[in-house]
Structure 1
Amino acid sequence: MVDAAAPFAKPELEFLIEASKRVNFVVFALTKTDAYPGWRTILEDDRAQLQAHAPRFGSAPWFPVSARLAELAMTMPREAAPELIRESRIAELQHALIDLAGKGHLLAQTNVLRAVRSEFIRLDLQVGDRMKATDPDPGDMAKAKADRAALAARKRTESRQWSLALNTETQRARVEATGRLRNYVTALQEDFLNKIEKGKGEEIKGLPQEVDRALHALSVRLSHDLEFRFRKVAERTLAQVFGPHELQFVLRRLNATLRHALATKPRRDGGGPDNVMIAMSAGGMAFMAGRGAVAGASALGASALIGGSLLIPVAGVGLGLAAGAFILYRRRVQTDRQQARVWLREVLGEARAALSDEIMHRFTDLQYALTLALDDAIERRLQQLDAHIAEIDKALAEDKASRAKRKAVLQAERDGLRARVKQVDEVLVRARSLAPARPTEEQT
């Protein structure tokens, strides 16, 4: 969902660049076209930015829509509604999404294939290092020993600095997430206050249902925002500890440690006992936006320089009105605008407090999990360097024929990996045909 008010902002573009590394294709909806007559210019600017920075999404279909016109059409006489519905362009987007939903299993499989491709590339890099060890250069031995000594020294002298850096990154991201939440809730409150001011009796009576839907949408948006920020905290922290060439060796075990540390944290009751207006759930351990089906293989971000991906399992936040909010509305409000305003402020205030508390706990859990994962990753990287040094020693002790034989075996393994990558690429190219067609020029 992209706003027609302005082209992509930097955070949005960064998110799409990262997503393009793990998602085969997307569908874009350009919203609020009724409010911005120049939306076609914004659309072309957005497409140009995608082509330049995330070319995989450069040919993705765009659907300009107006939810306001679609809602207005529902209140118009039957003979006038079709024209507004056509202008809203909602039908084209609905048909495209229904078509995609029918191919949901295939879409999930393509994203799994893209993650598998990243794993093949990581394995290819490891086999390449093992091939170098079969034909050892004294300089490689010296470099491996120097890398091991440097990492061990950094672990002794900089572990406190890494801990402080992780704490700083976590706190900064938590403040940013809380600020975004405040902006979301403020915008929501202003929108509903305007509806209360301008709405008629029946519209005011239906306010709880609208607020309930809006809170659910807010929770989905916040879940995506937390996913993005969690990944950024982890990537920035890793970048301070490991170089790009080292990340490929620690990512897989780091992912397993993160999953274990986060999954074994005791679950808290979402919302707390004092929330009579809000029902909140932070369901079981799964990936954001219901992607649990591909949780084992889906990639939630990584450096562009590595073949693997950083996986952070995060429970999605569910939010909506509790029964008490509906009961209180019926008793106190009905069509009273003043009471409706009071009720709205109470509901949104409680929602904001509950979500702020949840954000604080989420970042605390993330900091704990990353601390454990980093310690484990450093230890295992030291063990890998020890094994690499031992392999070079073994190769130096072997005769030339034995080294050539071992190198041939590794070359065959590498050729097999590259053949699989080529096969996956061919399947992914064919899978692009699953994307819905662009709207015609007449439709836009």
Structure 2
Amino acid sequence: MTTPDPNSPVTRLLRYANEVHALAGRCGRKDLAEVLAGCAARWKHECTDIVVAGAQKRGKSRLLNTLVGHPDLLPVDADVATDCFLSLRRGPRLTAVVHRSTDAGPVQTPITIESIPDYASMRGDAGKRRDVVSVDITLDNPLLDGLRLLDTPGVDSLTVGHRQVTVAMLQRADALLFALSAQDQPVLRHELEFLAEAAERVQAIAFVLTKVEDSNNWRVLMEENQARLRTFVSQAVAENPARAATLEPLLTAPWIPVSAKLAEAAEAKRREGRQERADALRARSGMDALERHLRAFAEGRDFARGATVVSAALSALDSLATTAQDDVAAGSDDSGDVAARLAEVEADLEGLSELAARRRAGAVANTFLGREVSGIVAARVAEIRQPYENSITALKKQDQLDRFTAELPMSVQRSLEAAWSQIVYDVEVLARKTLDAFARDLGLDPVAFAADRGAAPNVSQVQIRKDESADAPAQVDMIRDVLPSASIGLSLGGFAATLLGPVGFILVAPAIGAAMFMGRRSMEKVQRNQSAIRTALRDQFAAVSREMTLDLERMVATWRVSVEQAADEHLMRRRKELESRRAELKAASARSEAERKKARESGQDRISAINTLTRRGQELRRELAAAVAALGAERPAAPAAAPAPAGS
């Protein structure tokens, strides 16, 4: 059995984590000790977790399908569902299991491979997606030996729920692959902000530039992405120099250009027996270089996990330092030291009171969200209804009306269901803008919430009450129908009598009158049916508008409660911490001189230990960062600048 090197970074890291854990325990901070224990517990995991993240349509799902050799495994034309992730790991055969979180506890359900999109993508069945946390897929691929790939929801800024799920996944990740596309716009601000957040949780990061097969300018785009990243990091570090340690490693992370399309074409050529062509396409796809990088992540997972432990330890030390500094101030011979610390606490408490007032004012402003929802629904539904109104006016014949009426129910239903997605989007943007501003005003991060745009309210089909006389024998109203037609006939008959005489009048006048009567009768029937359709449409749209508004008002109310509860919990927790500090400072100032001296010496000893551990942690973090960077030291060869068509 090989004896571990006592001076290796990993051994020193574990020893360091134990020391910080012990210090947290001695200081009575069980909460901090548990966080460190949780980070260290992952050391026993033999599988390397690699999160694949990126905005929608960046090509990450197709990339994963290509990596594991199953082009149709994960849905590539719809984003992963909110609150869900897809796990790919090695197993003896191809299987899929849905994991749900229900009120009765976790539930696992085997599903077919073909039905994965129903449970895990935004295009799937809303009922099947409900409560799904993950879909665990196993397949026998050597690449996954000791690896688990995690496909996550898009991190687009307008889908906060997606972003939060992906950030949460990083807590358990050993490495991050961040996908950008050579055929889309350069990296956006919300993607950079996600990367900054990710860098605080995981240190092994690589950028994957997908879809390079059809772009002659991918190198230019990659350079622009790198320039934007440098600008973002430099600005963030200038605003807060303490972030340099976590953000600057992003600048040395490798960039791996790949083409899933070329890799798929290589497989097709291999199946045709064209080995040489297949090898050339595979080499130009960049996939071999990506696979080597994944294996390097697996082999160096201890370094990546070590970075996570160090970050947690440094955060814990920062919290411990505050309490130690309070003890030193309370034990000082100069009463002004305690007074100064108490003044800081009182100022913070006063600031909390101001925040609480702003919270109440903000909550009042938030109540108007429900009213704005009604306006959004009304405007969108009016846009949908107007083309139908225009079409009805253009219908001049009964057979046109009949065809229009037959197709109308399903047409309206599809229109309303499509409108629902846009309406929810509009409401979500409005709510996020309002509630995020509310949260930021209170010093909170944005709270996760996202709507299911597929879960439209029940949209019943339009029911048109057609003119019941349309297919029945004419029931003539003498006053409404005959008299006007007879009058017209008599007028025309008077003119004809001068030419044909009395016999002519008797024969022609009734004939012309009958023809005019039937034409008028048909025209009025059309008009009555047009009116019936318009009335039905207006009733239907009004009913659906009410249902949509009610559903969305409930949705927005739920978001409001979520954000406001988070604000209350934050304010309450912060107030409790400050009041506890104030009580301890006051109690310490009333102690005997000997007790104060003991507290002061204890605080000074802890501050000395904390400073020493902090320096060691920062050194370890730099050392581990260099080790992680070395994992990608062999930079992948770039595909050709202008590759030939995939099918050549």
TM-score by length of 1: 0.51
Cα deviation, 1:65-122, whole Å, max 9, x if unaligned, reads 1112112222235231111111111111012113323544653453243233222223
Q: Does 1:425 align with 2:622?
A: no
Distance 2:348 2:295 in 1: 53
Match of 2:565 in 1: 372
Assess if the C-alpha contact under 8 Å between 2:211 and 2:259 holds in 1: yes
- The reply on whether 1:62 has 2:255 as its aligned counterpart is yes
Partners in 2 of 1:101 and 1:125 — Cα distance? 38
Which whole-Å deviations, capped at 9, do the CAs of 1:402-437 have from their partners, x for residues lacking one? 434322211211222233333333433343324532
Work out whether residues 208 and 258 of structure 2, in 8 Å CA contact, stay in contact via their aligned partners in 1.
Answer: yes
Moved more, 54-63 or 431-440: 431-440
Structure 2 partner of 1:96: 293
Change (3 A) 1:87 1:233: farther
Pair 1:41 & 2:226 matched = no
Partner of 1:16: 195
Aligned mates of 2:329, 2:223 — CA distance in 1 = 48
- Alignment map for 1:28-427 (pairs within 5 Å): 28-52=207-231, 53=233, 54-76=247-269, 77=272, 78=274, 79-104=276-301, 107-135=304-332, 136-137=335-336, 138-152=339-353, 154-155=355-356, 157-163=357-363, 237-242=438-443, 368-398=561-591, 402-427=595-620
Larger deviation: 4-13 or 375-384? 375-384
Moved more, 230-239 or 390-399: 230-239
**Residues 182 and 221 in structure 2, CA contact (< 8 A), matched pair in contact too:** yes
SS of 1:80's equivalent in the other structure is helix
Distance in 2 of aligned mates of 1:73 and 1:26: 28
Structure 1 contact 69–87 (Cα < 8 Å) conserved:
yes
Alignment partners' CA distance in 2, 1:373 and 1:152: 16
Give the SS at the match of 2:186. coil
Pair 1:4-2:182 in alignment: yes
Q: 1:169 to 1:366 in 2, by over 3 A?
A: same
Partner SS state of residue 422, structure 1: helix
In the alignment, the residues of structure 2 paired with residue 160 and residue 127 of structure 1 have an alpha-carbon distance, to the nearest angstrom, of: 35
The amino acid of 2:315's aligned partner reads S
Q: Deviations 1:300-355 (Å, cap 9, x if unpaired)?
A: xxxxxxxxxxxxxxxxxxxxxxxxxxxxxxxxxxxxxxxxxxxxxxxxxxxxxxxx
Matches of 2:349 and 2:360, distance apart in 1: 19
Residue 58 of structure 1 deviates from its aligned partner by 0.9
Structure with higher Rg: it is 2
- Aligned with 1:375: secondary structure? helix
Quick one: distance in 2 between partners of 1:94 and 1:362?
Answer: 43
Structure 2 letter corresponding to 1:141: L
Please list every run of 5 or more consecutive structure 1 residues that lacks an aligned counterpart in the other structure.
173-225, 252-257, 263-269, 275-358
Q: Deviations over 1:26-66 (max 9, x none)?
A: 01111122222222222233333334413121111111111
Q: Compared with structure 1, are the counterparts of its residues 75 and 423 closer, same or farther at alpha carbon in structure 2 (3 Å cutoff)?
A: same
Q: Is the 1:170–1:367 contact (alpha carbons within 8 Å) kept by the matching residues of 2?
A: no
| Aligned residues of 1:92 and 1:439 also touching (Cα < 8 A) | no
Q: Which moved more, 1:44-53 or 1:90-99?
A: 44-53
The one-letter code sitting in structure 1 at the alignment partner of 2:579 is D
**How many residues are paired up?**
283
Change in 2 beyond 3 A, CA 1:232/1:440 = farther
Q: Write the letter of the residue equivalent to 2:289.
A: E
Q: How much has 1:11 moved relative to structure 2?
A: 1.2
Q: Which of 1 and 2 has higher RCO (CA within 8 Å, sep 6+)? A: 1
3-state SS, counterpart of residue 201 of structure 2: coil
CA distance in 1, matches of 2:622, 2:570: 35
How much does 1:388 deviate? Answer: 2.8
Q: Deviations over 1:234-275 (max 9, x none)?
A: 986554224xxxx8xxx9xxxxxx99xx9xxxxxxx999x9x
Structure 2: segments with no counterpart, 5+ residues: 1-178, 234-246, 373-427, 459-551, 640-648
CA contact (8 A) 2:207 2:255 kept: yes
Greater helix share, 1 or 2? 1
Taking only the aligned residue pairs, the percentage that are identical comes to: 25
How far apart, CA to CA, are the structure 2 residues paired with 1:434 and 1:169?
47
Q: Is the partner of 2:204 in helix, strand or coil?
A: coil
Secondary structure (helix, strand or coil) at the match of 2:208 reads strand
- More displaced, 24-33 or 385-394? 385-394
Distance (whole Å) between structure 2 residues aligned to residue 164 and residue 67 of structure 1: 51
* RMSD across aligned positions (CA): 4.5
Cα distance between partner residues in 2 of 1:134 and 1:25: 44
Hey, what does 1:283 align to over in structure 2? none
Matched residue SS, 1:23 = coil
Paired with 1:171 and 1:121, the residues of 2 have a C-alpha distance of 45
Query: What is the one-letter code of the residue matched to 1:409?
Result: S
Contact residue 34 and residue 69 of structure 1 kept, 8 A: yes
**1:378, 1:44 → 2: CA distance?**
44
SS of the residue corresponding to residue 29 of structure 1 reads strand
Q: Relative to structure 1, is the Cα distance of residues 75 and 420 closer, same or farther in structure 2, using a 3 angstrom cutoff? A: same
More strand by share: 2
**Pairwise CA distance, 1:2:** 1.2
Q: Does the CA-based 8 Å contact 1:31-1:64 persist in structure 2?
A: yes
Relative to structure 2, which stretch is displaced further, 65-74 or 126-135?
126-135
Separation (CA, whole Å) in 1 of partners of 2:590 and 2:299: 60
Q: Distance in 1 between matches of 2:555 and 2:633?
A: 39
Distance 1:101 1:146, change over 3 A: closer
Tell me if the contact between 2:256 and 2:636 (Cα under 8 Å) persists in the aligned partners: no
Specify the code of the residue in structure 2 equivalent to 1:39: W
- In the alignment, the residues of structure 2 paired with residue 119 and residue 231 of structure 1 have an alpha-carbon distance, to the nearest angstrom, of 32
Rounded to whole Å, the distance in 2 between the matches of 1:26 and 1:360 is: 41
Return closer, same or farther for 1:35/1:82 CA change in 2, 3 Å cut-off. same
